[in-house]
Amino acid sequence: MNKVSKNDFNYKKDIENDDIREKIKIIIKRNKEYNLRDLSRTLKKNDAYLQQYLFRGTPKILPEEYRHRLAKILNVNITELTPNWLKKFSPEEEIVTIKNIETDSLDNNYISISQKLLFDADFSKLENLFFFQTNTNKGMVTTIVDVGIDKYTKPDLYLLHDKKNFFLAYIEKSQVNNSKMSIKPYLETFYPFHISSEILKVSGKALWQGSKIFQK
């Protein structure tokens, strides 16, 4: 088997990176709804970020999170924006892109996460997966929820909805009254309470939580 030298690999990598840039230019040109400045802002970057990436080669490749966001916005498959050399190191089929359950705006509306972290998720129904963010005194916590689970199944963390606001709460059956559920809000600024199991409405079940992982 022929060995590929480091110089040959880097040359091929640069060619593939350039091909992706040209492809993005064509996609953006066809889609007149967006310009480079607006797209850069949706990625939470400075106005010239995509201009520099596409025409100056800085950065050499788009970071994973931004490639996924850009693919969603431009309505293309993420593989279209991923050079072949990178696919070998980070298979895209192991990454899922999830929408914010609270907003329809484009800014910070999507995150990408490895399927391996969501071992309880049903990926055949990806449309049921959303993320929800909570501000705590220790920083921002991101929670992945499955809205396909719309009723209590076992003691666990669930997403509830009250007066147009989402909130997380740990739910279990009341130890005092079998007909009631014990609700302990995730944020300690809210008091625990009990509610009849018949009127409890669940918006989703938490699958995963984390902090800092999505910070750039």
Indicate if 129 and 44 belong to the same structural domain: no
58 and 118 share one domain:
no
Return d(Cα 70, Cα 157) in angstroms, integer: 31
Q: Give the count of domains, the chain.
A: 2
Q: pLDDT at position 159, please?
A: 96
Q: Do 62 and 125 share a structural domain?
A: no
Domain annotation covers residue 160: yes
Within a domain: 183: yes
* DSSP-derived secondary structure for 88-141: TTS-GGGEEEEEESS--SSTT-EEEEEGGG-TT--GGGGGGEEEEEEEETTEEE
How high is the pLDDT of residue 122?
Answer: 76
Residues of the chain with pLDDT under 50: 1-4, 105-106, 213-216
| pLDDT per residue as tens digits for the range 142-163 | 899 999 999 999 999 999 998 8
Task: List pLDDT tens digits, range 200-210.
Answer: 999 999 998 88
Query: How much is the pLDDT for 155?
Result: 93
Q: Identify whether 61 is part of a domain.
A: yes
Residues 128 and 75 in one domain: no
